Amino acid sequence: MTRSSPTRNRRSPRSAPRSPASGEEKSRRLPPLLRRAWFSLNQAFRRRIAHLRLTPDQYTALRLLAEAGPAGLRQRALTPLMASDPNTIAALLERLEKHGWVHRAPDPADRRALVVQLTPGGEKRYHQAREIALALQAEVLSVLPERERRPFLARLERVAEACRRAAESGRAVG
């Protein structure tokens, strides 16, 4: 039996996982961490609400409408609240309307605008999904000590707001 040389068994520097060494390299971790967290949370929620025939985006629309109260929201107002575009929101609301979960009607104050309101069926579906969302959030946040959860969410909200401002500024980097 021959012994392998130590250099043969070592992984090349390019294939070895690298840990961030400098503060600059560590700061570059934000985008992949946010993406991984969002993607995994979205997938977990999607699977847990699939039996309700509801998607995470549809749940978000129902939640925003529930929070708006009986008056509902203008369709146009949902676009920035959901960080989306008008065509995507229109298609999403069309699907929700087909399920009977929302109702769209001309705004009495401006007949060119549409007001979106939850139907009783939409409110019921929202509350069913909300229980699942709250349980998932509790499960995910359980990795943090209870005293750290609120401060973490407050900091994450500040980061999200800074991301929104950066997106709106439209400044080129470099």
What is the C-alpha separation between 28 and 153, in angstroms, rounded? 21
* Per-residue confidence (pLDDT) for residue 97, from 0 to 100: 97
Q: How far is CA 109 from CA 77, 106, 114, in A?
A: 15, 9, 10
Average pLDDT over residues 30-42: 93
* Per-residue confidence (pLDDT) for residue 167, from 0 to 100: 85
* Domain assignment of residue 127, yes or no: yes
* Domain assignment of residue 8, yes or no: no
* Domain assignment of residue 20, yes or no: no
* Domain assignment of residue 39, yes or no: no
* Domain assignment of residue 26, yes or no: no
* Domain assignment of residue 24, yes or no: no
| Cβ(83)–Cβ(160) below 8 Å | no
| Cβ(76)–Cβ(86) below 8 Å | yes
Q: What is the CATH number of the domain that holds 76?
A: 1.10.10.10
User: Quick check: 158 pLDDT over 70?
Assistant: yes
Judged by phi (left if over 0) then psi (alpha if -120 to 50, else beta), residue 133 lies in alpha
Q: Which two tokens stand for residue 108?
A: 């009495």
Q: Give tens-digit pLDDT for 51-80.
A: 999 999 999 999 999 999 999 999 999 999
* Domain assignment of residue 173, yes or no: no
User: Quick check: 81 pLDDT over 50?
Assistant: yes
* Domain assignment of residue 171, yes or no: no
Number of structural domains (the chain) is: 1
- Work out the burial of residue 131: count CB atoms within 10 Å of its CB; fewer than 13 is exposed, 13-18 middle, 19 or more buried: exposed
CA dihedral 13, 14, 15, 19 (to 10 degrees): 70
Q: Give tens-digit pLDDT for 104-139.
A: 999 888 888 899 999 999 999 999 999 999 999 999
Q: Which two tokens stand for residue 113?
A: 């605008």
Residue 77 lies in domain: 48-166
